[in-house]
């Protein structure tokens, strides 16, 4: 194992955890973290130790006044006590051999006060001195669905947890963390590792992507960031990684006011937008424009192979969304090629004469699931087409649930498939079923095309 | 009543309907239209007459060989027979005194064939000759939720219908029609009138907005269009209407390829994008960029008053989405002003010292519903603020359902309120509850800000 792999292993696979600041008082951060770890899905929940000098027991479990009082070995400390106590706690952890700490507490650099800055400085000094690695402060910490681990203070009633899967999500904002994880929980994709890193006073994005690069469970890394502390370190790491593992980034603070707000949120300088844009591009990073696009792109990459080129084959039983898709394909620099002559000929022979067999293929309101099968099978064979993009009007009575089997079959033909549909309960039912057989679906054409673009950029990176 | 009001009344309030092309065969368009009209919510479903020369009965109901055989008065004919029979049918309808027809059938101009064009020409000639007004062809027709009327061939199992409400939606694409109506059905907003007009060979957008301008049930008109047949007529009408009733437009075909596709879909010329943009602006039309934005803007306007200015007051218990909102506020030319000095002072006195009382107001992960109430009440009083924009992390354990009562109260303070939240089942439950008390909610910051911009543009138009 590399150094980083050894150092980070216990953030994600701890077999015992101390919760420093565990409390009885519902709603208090230390209470919620302890409850979530000791009473829910964490594989080693019998090895969760509350640390609190004022109570003998927390929620019926023996508490320890100080971390050094815990008789057992502790792999990870999760901390929610006041900032001023934390530098000393880092020292105690180091001495006890606890090399991994998640600092949930705020009250550091992000306040902009001299006091806050000095706590952060001392905390880092002690961490370096004792060889302790820190995630945070001012964050919600880590999740590893594989062993039911999370250090969150969000209750299970208010926030569902995702299943294990292939997307890693790193985020400076805990809020986006909660939303992303719940969206994943309600979709067919799962999460490999999650880190909300807040002020990132020690472990930073470059460290994390380097660790995740070696993590076999992770197929794609998604990141929400407000600014980088060490841009060069991150870009250098990213440049190597994106050649074999895609990285999708949403960076906030594009506007002047947004950049100022980002600084005050986690206390880091933003840097110029133009520099970021160029550096992302050079590093093979897939940059997205908003939070939905971030999830959409990660989902597409997790569910589908990369695209070998930018050429899209469109088919639909309703024209409106296709026309929006055509606009977006042009805007994003993708292509809508002619269908190969012989494929077009075959399609015309097999389809009713009033279907319009160009690209897009308009199979009209009369289309059946079988018509989709015919068209998509042929487009999958067409050397002119790299990405299959069906849109569906499931409201049309002639489209029934057999479309799910069709899509399962089409999804095995060796070309990426990505689709669109928008509607109510029946549409949602069929859409979910299609996603469950592996085809990612989105409600509007712009989001389908944006996700397809991510598959294309990923393909370009991998084949460099 | 004006001429147009008289002419159009029976499209939306027919008390008897003939379904020409009604059929027994499930899945056939004529069968589905007839089933939906005769067996579901239509107020006068006992007065739905199937016309079919081959059957005595359709679904157990007496059928008539020809429309002139129907002994009763017929207000509206809904037609799904072959294009070539339709010019004569228009004549028959005219002679029987049926002045309103919805032509669902395709096979006209949109095919690009001489035959198709000639049917369309003859159909229009007969309509003019006999004073018949036509919606369509190549469309899904009309809906008026007030009397449970729709001429759709989409089954109730596949497509739920919206409740009555204040949004009118006009669309060239039936597909977008289905999606919009189902989104409305699953939201707190309702639909006043709906028209899918397809090739609009007779009744066009200008006619429809002029009719809707006089329709008291309609508060906002949303339109999806691919191109206008008579741009000047539409813009002239819109210019007057937007001074008292907002019009939101999504126009497809921005790209060259998209414009070509739009032409082939409904057979109309697109026209230059630059001309459209300028004309929309001059006419006070709120132009949106994609289909989600179209629904979002209509929903915001339906649920909230117009904004008196562009100045937004932001508050959240999670910073990430706020930073994205700040970027978008700048991008869209809205403003994020300083909070008034005395209001800021009052807030600082009432809130914990670690809350950041600027604009945005960051009430941190420690925020309670009561904190939201304090902040929003004060922002509502602040003469510097026109629009209240709260974001919520409902995953945080300290935010409970009492936030719904808070938002109900805030919604009555005389300033538009529009919010954001993203997550899983608990977030959805609270979000829906907040919408049910009148505050529109969206999942990402960009969509919240886009909807706020619609309220602002509407305000500018109304106060001209």
A173–chain B nearest CA distance, Å: 5
In this complex, do B258 and A323 lie within 8 Å of one another by their Cβ atoms?
Answer: yes
Q: Which of A179, A250, A323, A443 to mutate to test the interface with B (most CBs of B within 10 A)?
A: A323
Please report the beta strands in B70-160, taking only residues with DSSP state E, as ranges in sequence order. Answer: 76-79, 100-103, 133-135, 141-144, 149-150
Long-range contacts, stretch A365-368, CB < 8 angstroms, 24+ apart: A365/A317, A365/A318, A365/A393, A365/A396, A365/A398, A365/B29, A365/B106, A365/B153, A365/B174, A366/A317, A366/A398, A367/A317, A367/A396, A367/A398, A367/A399, A368/A398, A368/A399
Please report the beta strands in B139-204, taking only residues with DSSP state E, as ranges in sequence order. Answer: 141-144, 149-150, 164-171, 191-196
Q: Residue A262: which pLDDT band, with cuts at 50, 70 and 90? A: low
Strands A149-150 and B387-391: unpaired
pLDDT score at B273:
80
Question: Are A302 and A167 a contacting pair, CB within 8 Å?
Answer: yes
Strand, coil or helix: A206: helix
pLDDT score at A2:
66
Q: Is the pLDDT of residue A125 over 90?
A: yes
A150–chain B nearest CA distance, Å: 14
Residue of B nearest to A162 (CA): B424
Strand, coil or helix: B397: coil
B327–chain A nearest CA distance, Å: 5
B174-185 helix and B291-303 helix, angle to the nearest 10 degrees: 40
State CA A411 to chain mean position distance.
23
pTM of the model: 0.95
Residue A436 phi, psi dihedral angles, 5° rounding: -70, -20
Q: Give residue-wise pLDDT tens across range B94-129.
A: 999 999 999 999 999 988 899 999 999 999 999 999
Q: B112 burial class (0-12, 13-18, 19+ CB within 10 angstroms)?
A: exposed
Joined tokens for residue B70: 């129907």
Q: Residue A305: which pLDDT band, with cuts at 50, 70 and 90? A: very high
Q: Residue A110: which pLDDT band, with cuts at 50, 70 and 90? A: confident
Q: Is the pLDDT of residue A118 over 70?
A: yes
Q: Whose CA is closest to A284, among A251, A312, A245, A250?
A: A245
- Measure CB to CB from residue B327 to each of A155, A255, A324 and give the nearest one: A255
Residues of chain A with pLDDT > 90: what percent? 88
Cα separation of B461 and B464, whole Å? 5
pLDDT score at B304:
98
pLDDT score at A264:
61
Q: Give residue-wise pLDDT tens across range A339-398.
A: 999 999 999 999 999 899 999 999 998 899 999 999 999 999 999 999 999 999 999 989
In this complex, do A252 and B323 lie within 8 Å of one another by their Cβ atoms?
Answer: yes
Long-range contacts, stretch B399-404, CB < 8 angstroms, 24+ apart: B399/A158, B399/B317, B399/B367, B399/B368, B399/B369, B399/B430, B400/B369, B401/B430, B401/B433, B402/B369, B403/B369, B403/B372, B403/B430, B403/B434, B404/B430, B404/B433, B404/B434, B404/B437
- Measure CB to CB from residue B397 to each of A32, A179, A394 and give the nearest one: A32
As for the ipTM of the complex, it is 0.94
- Measure CB to CB from residue A330 to each of B111, B255, B394 and give the nearest one: B255
In this complex, do B27 and A398 lie within 8 Å of one another by their Cβ atoms?
Answer: yes
Strand, coil or helix: B170: strand
Q: Whose CA is closest to A393, among A350, A437, A443, A432?
A: A443
A337–chain B nearest CA distance, Å: 11
Q: Give residue-wise pLDDT tens across range A314-341.
A: 999 998 999 999 999 999 999 999 999 9
pLDDT score at A112:
84
Q: Whose CA is closest to B131, among B76, B90, B177?
A: B90
| Beta-carbon pairs below 8 A across chains A and B | 241
In this complex, do A291 and B153 lie within 8 Å of one another by their Cβ atoms?
Answer: no
Cα separation of B163 and B171, whole Å? 18
In this complex, do A252 and B327 lie within 8 Å of one another by their Cβ atoms?
Answer: yes
Which residues of chain A are within 8 Å of residue B178 when distances are taken between CB atoms? Answer: 318, 393, 395, 423
Q: Where are the alpha helices (DSSP H) in A51-113?
A: 86-96
Task: Write out residues in chain B with pLDDT < 70, as ranges.
Answer: 1-2, 262-271, 464
Q: Give residue-wise pLDDT tens across range A404-459.
A: 999 999 999 999 999 999 999 999 999 999 999 999 999 999 999 999 999 999 99
pLDDT score at B1:
45
């Amino acid at each position: 194992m590399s150094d980083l792999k050894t150092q980070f292993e216990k953030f994600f696979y701890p077999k015992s955890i101390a919760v420093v600041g565990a409390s009885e008082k519902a709603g208090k951060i230390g209470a919620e973290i302890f409850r979530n770890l000791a009473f829910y899905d964490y594989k080693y929940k019998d090895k969760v130790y509350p640390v609190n000098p004022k109570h003998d027991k927390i929620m019926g479990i023996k508490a320890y006044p100080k971390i050094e009082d815990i008789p057992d070995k502790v792999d990870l400390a999760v901390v929610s006590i006041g900032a001023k106590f934390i530098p000393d706690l880092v020292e105690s952890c180091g001495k006890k051999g606890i090399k991994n700490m998640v600092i949930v507490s705020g009250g550091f650099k992000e306040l902009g006060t001299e006091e806050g800055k000095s706590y952060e400085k001392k905390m880092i000094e002690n961490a370096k001195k004792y060889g302790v690695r820190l995630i945070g402060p001012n964050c919600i910490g880590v999740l590893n669905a594989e062993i039911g681990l999370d250090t969150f203070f969000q209750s299970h009633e208010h926030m569902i947890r995702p299943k294990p899967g292939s997307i890693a999500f790193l985020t400076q904002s805990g809020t986006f963390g909660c939303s992303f994880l719940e969206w994943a929980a309600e979709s067919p994709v799962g999460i490999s590792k999650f880190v909300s890193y807040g002020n990132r006073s020690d472990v930073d994005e470059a460290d994390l992507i380097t660790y995740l690069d070696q993590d076999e469970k992770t197929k794609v890394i998604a990141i929400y960031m407000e600014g980088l502390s060490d841009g060069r370190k991150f870009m250098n790491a990213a440049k190597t990684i994106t050649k074999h593992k895609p990285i999708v980034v949403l960076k906030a603070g594009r506007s002047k006011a947004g950049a100022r707000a980002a600084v005050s949120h986690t206390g880091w300088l933003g840097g110029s937008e133009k520099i970021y844009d160029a550096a992302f591009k050079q590093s093979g990073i897939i940059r997205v424009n908003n939070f939905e696009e971030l999830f959409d792109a990660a989902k597409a990459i997790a569910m589908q192979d990369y695209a070998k080129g930018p050429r899209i084959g469109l088919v639909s039983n309703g024209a409106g969304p296709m026309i929006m898709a055509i606009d977006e394909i042009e805007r994003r620099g993708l292509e809508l090629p002619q269908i190969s002559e012989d494929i077009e000929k075959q399609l015309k022979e097999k389809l009713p004469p009033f279907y319009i067999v160009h690209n897009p293929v308009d199979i009209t309101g009369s289309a059946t699931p079988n018509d989709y099968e015919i068209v998509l099978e042929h487009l999958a064979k067409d050397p002119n087409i790299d990405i299959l993009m069906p849109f569906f009007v499931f409201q049309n009575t002639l489209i029934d649930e057999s479309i799910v089997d069709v899509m399962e079959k089409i999804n095995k033909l060796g070309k990426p498939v990505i689709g669109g549909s928008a509607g109510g309960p029946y549409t949602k039912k069929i859409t979910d079923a299609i996603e469950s057989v592996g085809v990612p679906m989105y409600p509007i054409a712009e989001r389908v095309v944006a996700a397809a673009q991510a598959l294309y950029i990923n393909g370009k990176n991998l084949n460099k």
